[in-house]
Amino acid sequence: MTQSQSLPGALRPGHFFTMAVGSMIGVAWIPLLGVWLADAGSIGAALAFVSAAVLISLIGLAYVRVAARVPISGAEVSYALHFFGRAAAFLVGWILCFIYIAVASFEAISIGWILSTLAPSIEGPVVYRALGADVKAGSLALALGGTVVLCWLNARGAISAARTQHVLTIALFIASALFIAAGLLFGDVANLAPWFAERESGWRWGGVLALFVLTPLFFGGFNFAAQAMGERAPGVTTQDIGRVLVLAILAAGLFYALVIIAAAMSLPRSELLAQALPAATAFRVAFDSVALGNVVLIAGLLGLVTTWNAVIFAAIRILQRLASAGLLMPAFAHLHSKTGAPTVAIVFTGVVSAAGAMLGVGALVPIVNAAGVGITAAYLVVCLAAWKLHRDALAAVTVSIAAFVLLAACAEPFIANPTPHLPTPWKVLIAWFALGVIVYTARRRGHAARSVEVAH
């Protein structure tokens, strides 16, 4: 690649670790913890997450093996381009670009919700309605303001965004350690009962299996760090980054398991499941401490921001890589002369994600489900590349795991609503895919026309 297309390298292994683990933890565990405990039981829910972490770490190994052959930024786009050609690279990048920007919108929408639990008046008055839900002034201002700040950090260069991620993730670990330690040290082991929740069928493992099918979606994000593989500092190898990514996946699994166990120990099951936000209110009620409950919410807020920063970081690199490969307009590959940041890609990501955030909370569910399908499809592409490269037992296992994870993501909307229908996330992805076909065709025709002009 030319100098104008090569992203500068300055990231250390610690930056890759916090970029990966910070994006995997996020904020979804705060509202969903009660559902996990109700469906699978305390030990069952923890076991589902630990088992999923082990499986996803094998997919992480596939990323490592492929990155050793293609050690540049762009992750899935670069791998698809190397192993499967331009059309596959564009398709993967086009879908992931949409997914990452959509998730950035999700995080922007969610920040008002999480802050309103700490300061209820912050949401402000209703400005308008979108997709059947109110959009409030305070939440909208937080969403747009946060988008501007994170895009500005990325515009200062990869090291600026990575250092911010580093600090926020460390703060997340410290906040989490406080309430996890409180639950484990001062909670009651008897509150863990039942270890495995029985379903109507009487099969104890049914709830664990149902949760296990969904858990891989909560590990989506380790691959965000892989987007910057070509931006590692001198002396840092792809093997170093590979070990870090696997460690990050296992660390995220441990986090989820500890949060589940600590919260379950803090209150009897019936009281815990009656709470609106079990992960936060359990600690507040059990230890009669508003401050401890707020620490949980602060940890959730930090997880939200780390995920938000990571998806913006990843979306920018997808756009830059597509453009440097000649699959998008060259402007997206242009790097700032001082910071080395792809400024056009940053502006585009910020504007589109801000527009998505203006749709409000009514857009949350479609965004989450569409993201699950897109990200797990990218996993499969990378695992197929690893199979094409090695054709050994490990590659076969990772392809099988990735196919299973993708199938689970595709099936989830039908499990949630078993009536015959075309899920909204599928409609969104189909429409985006159709638009991508138009863009790719137009781009190819443009190249062909320029080639004819040069020939003459």
List Cα–Cα distances, 18 to 86, 232, 235, 320, 439, in angstroms: 31, 14, 19, 22, 35
Q: What is the mean pLDDT of residues 51-62?
A: 91
Residue from 187, 212, 299 nearest 36 by CA: 212
> Does the pLDDT value for residue 50 go beyond 90?
yes
* Cα end-to-end distance, the chain, whole Å: 27
Q: What is the mean pLDDT of residues 31-43?
A: 85
From CA 176, how far away is CA 211, in angstroms rounded?
23
Residue 351 or residue 430, greater confidence = 351
Residue from 359, 326, 357, 324 nearest 342 by CA: 324
From CA 370, how far away is CA 425, in angstroms rounded?
5
Residue-level pLDDT at 36 = 87
Structure tokens at 48: 């589902």
Tell me how many domains the chain contains. Answer: 1
Residue from 270, 264, 284 nearest 184 by CA: 264
For helices 205-214 and 393-416, the axis angle rounded to 10 degrees is 100
Q: What is the mean pLDDT of residues 66-85?
A: 87
Residue from 172, 153, 156, 154 nearest 21 by CA: 172
> Does the pLDDT value for residue 415 go beyond 70?
no
- 61 Cα distance to chain centroid: 18
Comparing 5-9, 253-257, 403-407, the range with the smallest average pLDDT is: 5-9
From CA 25, how far away is CA 254, in angstroms rounded?
10
Residue-level pLDDT at 225 = 79
> Does the pLDDT value for residue 3 go beyond 50?
no
What tens digit of pLDDT does each residue of 404-413 get? 888 877 776 6
How many residues can be counted in the chain?
456
What tens digit of pLDDT does each residue of 17-30 get? 998 998 898 877 88
Identify any residues that bridge with 11 across adjacent strands, giving them in sequence order. 232
Residue written as tokens 């949980």? 296
> Does the pLDDT value for residue 203 go beyond 70?
no
What's the pLDDT band for 167 if we cut at 50, 70, 90?
Answer: very high
Residues 282/272, Cβ–Cβ less than 8 Å: yes
> Does the pLDDT value for residue 46 go beyond 90?
yes
Residue-level pLDDT at 374 = 77
Domain that holds residue 147: 3-455
What's the pLDDT band for 6 if we cut at 50, 70, 90?
Answer: low
What tens digit of pLDDT does each residue of 172-202 get? 999 889 888 888 888 889 988 888 876 665 5
Is the N-terminal amide bond of 8 cis, ω within 30° of 0? no
> Does the pLDDT value for residue 379 go beyond 70?
yes
List Cα–Cα distances, 3 to 6, 7, 340, in angstroms: 5, 8, 10
Residue-level pLDDT at 454 = 47
Identify any residues that bridge with 130 across adjacent strands, giving them in sequence order. 133
Q: What is the mean pLDDT of residues 418-426?
A: 70
What tens digit of pLDDT does each residue of 268-302 get? 888 888 877 777 777 777 777 788 888 888 888 89
> Does the pLDDT value for residue 367 go beyond 80?
no
> Does the pLDDT value for residue 2 go beyond 50?
no
Q: 3-class secondary structure for the chain?
A: CCHHHCCCCCECHHHHHHHHHHHHHCCCHHHHHHHHHHHHCHHHHHHHHHHHHHHHHHHHHHHHHHHHHCCCCCCHHHHHHHHHCHHHHHHHHHHHHHHHHHHHHHHHHHHHHHHHHHCHHHHCCEEEEECCEEEEHHHHHHHHHHHHHHHHHHHCCHHHHHHHHHHHHHHHHHHHHHHHHHHHHHCCHHHHCCCCCCCCCCCCHHHHHHHHHHHHHHHCCHHHHHCCHHHECCCCCHHHHHHHHHHHHHHHHHHHHHHHHHHHHHCCHHHHHCCCCHHHHHHHHHCCCHHHHHHHHHHHHHHHHHHHHHHHHHHHHHHHHHHHCCCCCHHHHCCCCCCCCCHHHHHHHHHHHHHHHCCCHHHHHHHHHHHHHHHHHHHHHHHHHHHHHHCCHHHHHHHHHHHHHHHHHHHHHHHHCCCCCCCHHHHHHHHHHHHHHHHHHHHHHHHHHHHHHHHC
Residue-level pLDDT at 349 = 93
Residue-level pLDDT at 1 = 38
Comparing 22-36, 238-252, 317-331, 421-435, the range with the smallest average pLDDT is: 421-435
Residue-level pLDDT at 406 = 84
From CA 266, how far away is CA 269, in angstroms rounded?
9
What tens digit of pLDDT does each residue of 124-153 get? 788 888 767 777 888 889 989 999 999 999
According to DSSP, the β-strands at 126-130 and 133-136 are antiparallel
Residue written as tokens 């495995």? 196
Cβ neighbours, 10 Å, residue 9: 18
The domain spanning residue 167 has which CATH number? 1.20.1740.10
> 225-239, 249-263, 273-287 — which one is most confidently predicted on average?
249-263
From CA 371, how far away is CA 389, in angstroms rounded?
27
Per the prediction, the chain carries an average pLDDT of 83
From CA 122, how far away is CA 294, in angstroms rounded?
16
Structure tokens at 14: 């610690």
Phi, psi of 127 (to 5 degrees): -95, -45
Residue-level pLDDT at 228 = 79
Residue-level pLDDT at 200 = 60
